[in-house]
Amino acid sequence: MSLKVGFIGWRGMVGSVLLDRMRAEGDFAGLEPVFFSTSQAGQSGPPEAKGAALRAAQDLDALSDCDVLVSCQGGEYTQTVYPRLRKQWSGYWIDAASTLRMDPQAVIVLDPVNGKQIQTALDRGIKTFAGGNCTVSLMLMAAAPLFQAGLVEWLISMTYQAASGAGAAKMLELVQQMKELSSAATRTPAQNALEVDRAMTEAQRSTELPQAEFGAPLAGSLIPWIDKAVPNGQTKEEWKGSAETNKILGLEPPVPVDGICVRVGTMRCHSQALCFKLRREVPLTEVEQLLASGNQWVRVIPNEKEASLHELTPTKVSGTLSVPIGRLHKLNMGPEFLGAFTVGDQLLWGAAEPLRRVLRIVRGEKAVASTV
Ligand code: NAP
């Protein structure tokens, strides 16, 4: 009998990347998929629905009929539906939202890093799995071996986060802002940089620039604040860096992780500048070997201009599962201080891919090699 898997939030950013990846990897074979919607019940679903109408995502009985539920719908939905559903249903819940990540009964999934923890949890009867914060997952895909070798005393991560991390509407607003700025520039003689700059700045400051989503211009600028404030001066995004890193790796005592999270005008790749304080002096060649051994998607990029320009950018990485880490060098602060820079597609390893893979693991399969 095939496994009945319900998908909620499948038409959003994360959900549609998840479905694309499942198609590319042949993951629908042997599944009986059921598609839900909070707003379009009764309408048609994707091709895999084979003509069946979308079910209402608030219908607890329809949800309970599934063996596994995969939700990419968002935190509010999880908060409302999950506790009520759990009173009548004991299936597997796989979720992109942050709501359940710190629940002691839930595991944050990133199987190339914590596959053993996921398997142990399954063996113990744990049935709730949450994808991690995109920035944390991408940092760990690149750098987990340093933590796992017990080498990290603390980490500062300064992030450069893409618009897609905030959802589809924000990506579209960024593009709209870009269009407005370039049209302001094209109305100005192109050979005069100062005049072009003046026209661009005027367009950025204009009340006509669409900014309902971000609340500020992002094109040609940046926003040094992501998510809401938490009491100690951090943002929630910055708080997640420490909380989720330590939970995913099961570190005890916890390793301090902190930094400043910044939204920049890239579409779907997050980048991070990392400063590690190592517990001891480790030669760079050893660091490089450790990092390269982490998983099959990480790539250590030589700390050279050409390689950094061509291999270590959002443009290169976008739409791929590759996670390059480069700019590796000892910092002026001393031989235990290591600098690095890493880039990753936050819709793939940052969101959809860990969910896709944990669904396969729940189905009892070993994670398969990916084709991207
Ligand atoms: P999203 O793009 O805003 O989609 C969420 C839901 O909005 C859709 O499933 C759909 O649900 C509804 N929707 C309304 N109008 C839509 C339209 N025109 N097109 C598509 N969907 C529409 O949200 P998301 O960025 O995928 O994020 C989903 C969850 O994943 C959130 O909890 C988020 O925090 C988490 N997450 C996101 C990322 C990321 O990179 N974006 C990374 C990690 C985790 P109905 O069919 O029910 O209407």
Contact assessment for residue 227 and residue 182, using Cβ atoms and an 8 Å cutoff: no
**Per-residue model confidence as pLDDT tens digits over 295-343:** 999 999 999 999 999 999 999 999 999 999 999 999 999 999 999 999 9
Helix, strand, coil distribution of the chain in percent, nearest 5: 40, 20, 40
How many Cα atoms occupy the beta-carbon half-sphere of 86 within 13 Å?
14
Residue 153: alpha-carbon gap to chain centroid: 25
Q: In whole angstroms, what is the distance from residue 97 CA to residue 81 CA?
A: 13
Beta-carbon contacts of residue 123 (< 8 Å; ≥ 6 apart): none
Identify whether 134 is a catalytic site residue.
yes
Mapped onto helix, strand or coil, the DSSP state of residue 35 is strand
Decide: pTM greater than 0.75: yes
Contact assessment for residue 356 and residue 25, using Cβ atoms and an 8 Å cutoff: yes
Residue 364: what pLDDT? 87
Contact assessment for residue 169 and residue 13, using Cβ atoms and an 8 Å cutoff: no
Ligand 1 centroid to residue 328 C-alpha, Å? 35
Contact assessment for residue 351 and residue 98, using Cβ atoms and an 8 Å cutoff: no
Beta-sheet pairing, 152-160 with 298-300: unpaired
Give residues (CB < 6 A) around ligand 1: 9, 11-15, 37-40, 57, 72-75, 96-97, 131, 134, 164-165, 167-168, 346-347, 350-351
Q: In whole angstroms, what is the distance from residue 79 CA to residue 348 CA?
A: 24
**Per-residue model confidence as pLDDT tens digits over 343-356:** 999 999 999 999 99
**Per-residue model confidence as pLDDT tens digits over 172-203:** 999 999 999 999 988 887 778 999 999 999 99
Query: Given strand 55-56, what is the order of strands in its sheet?
Result: 55-56, 31-37, 3-8, 68-71, 92-95, 128-131, 106-109
Nearest residue (by CA) to ligand 1, atom 18, is: 12
